[in-house]
Amino acid sequence: MLDPQVRSAWADHLRTLGTTYLILDCLRPLLDALSLDEQHDAGRLLVAFDQLLAEPGIREAAVVHHMGHGGERARGDSRVRDWPDVEWQLFRRSDDPASGRYIRAFGRDVNVLESTLAFNLVFRHLSLTGGGSRRDAEVEQALAAILAVLGVAAKPMSGREVEATLEADGHPRNAIRAALRLGVKARDIVVQEGPRKARLHSLPTTTGRPAEEADVTGNREEAVCAPVRRSAP
């Protein structure tokens, strides 16, 4: 692609095909084939890619590139992030290849908060489910675990006891604390003051509550609480 004659030949072929959207998948092998350094030379290739798009008049394109920096942004040369109009970022929930997928997109006229993706095994499509972020999923799982623990506890548990129990099962501490707050707010968890001003957590019961919180039957009322490039017009 760096050679003008080769690039023009490709451009002629793309023009013959009537190409209107071009995907380069993926960046790193092409850099390696051209003996370019991912840390410093990505800009050279992206400039050549722009020229390849311009010759046949292709106005839409995407470049696929791997994550680095803790799996949160494009690897290598910062030019990779300067070049696109929009970044689409795909994440796995964990290092497990079978873990859930999430997407986040932002840029020109685009602002999609991190959201859950579902994979269709038949059609091999990813689609938005309306679910939340990886953080939301961690909190929801932690809350379910907290309710299960409190359901079998012999007595109310302090926040530290809840944290120690769930951390032993692999739940992140921040997710546990957020889940406790969410459970209290949703009235799925009751908090009472214990010795030395400790906050003790338990599941709600129908006894000992103000009358306005119960209906006439005495039942509890539940509180439900990749980079994309677009040329200028």
Judgement on whether residues 143 and 110 belong to the same structural domain of the protein: no
Judgement on whether residues 126 and 149 belong to the same structural domain of the protein: no
Judgement on whether residues 186 and 146 belong to the same structural domain of the protein: yes
Question: Do residues 168 and 160 touch, judged by C-beta distance below 8 A?
Answer: no
Judgement on whether residues 141 and 66 belong to the same structural domain of the protein: no
Whether 147 is covered by a domain: the verdict is: yes
Domain limits at 188?
136-213
Residue 175's domain is classified under what CATH number? 1.10.10.10
Average pLDDT, the chain: 85
Whether 222 is covered by a domain: the verdict is: no
Judgement on whether residues 169 and 99 belong to the same structural domain of the protein: no
Judgement on whether residues 4 and 77 belong to the same structural domain of the protein: yes
The mean pLDDT value for 202-227 works out to 48
Judgement on whether residues 14 and 79 belong to the same structural domain of the protein: yes
Question: What is the distance between the alpha carbons of residues 171 and 169, in angstroms, rounded to a whole number?
Answer: 6
Question: What is the distance between the alpha carbons of residues 41 and 44, in angstroms, rounded to a whole number?
Answer: 6
Judgement on whether residues 48 and 118 belong to the same structural domain of the protein: no
Select from 203, 192, 198, 193 the least CA-distant residue to 153: 203
pLDDT tops 70 at residue 161: yes
Whether 226 is covered by a domain: the verdict is: no
pLDDT digits (tens, 9 = 90+) for 165-193: 999 999 999 999 999 999 999 999 999 99
Domain total in the chain: 3
Q: So what's the pLDDT on residue 96?
A: 82
Whether 154 is covered by a domain: the verdict is: yes
Judgement on whether residues 29 and 93 belong to the same structural domain of the protein: no
Select from 63, 95, 101 the least CA-distant residue to 82: 63
Grouping H, G, I as helix, E, B as strand and the rest as coil, residue 127 is strand
Q: Provide long-range contacts, Cβ within 8 A and 24+ apart, for 195-198.
A: 198/158
Full-model pTM:
0.63
Whether 224 is covered by a domain: the verdict is: no
Give the pairing type, strands 73-74 and 228-230: unpaired
pLDDT tops 80 at residue 63: yes
Name the residue with tokens 């350094």. 37
Q: Which of 132, 148, 164 is a domain's end point?
A: 132
Whether 232 is covered by a domain: the verdict is: no
Judgement on whether residues 63 and 94 belong to the same structural domain of the protein: no
Question: What is the distance between the alpha carbons of residues 112 and 226, in angstroms, rounded to a whole number?
Answer: 13
How far is residue 100 from each of residues 88, 96, 97, 138, 141, measured CA to CA in Å? 17, 9, 9, 12, 13
Whether 107 is covered by a domain: the verdict is: yes
Q: So what's the pLDDT on residue 140?
A: 86
Whether 223 is covered by a domain: the verdict is: no
Q: So what's the pLDDT on residue 208?
A: 42
Question: Do residues 108 and 123 touch, judged by C-beta distance below 8 A?
Answer: no
Judgement on whether residues 58 and 101 belong to the same structural domain of the protein: no
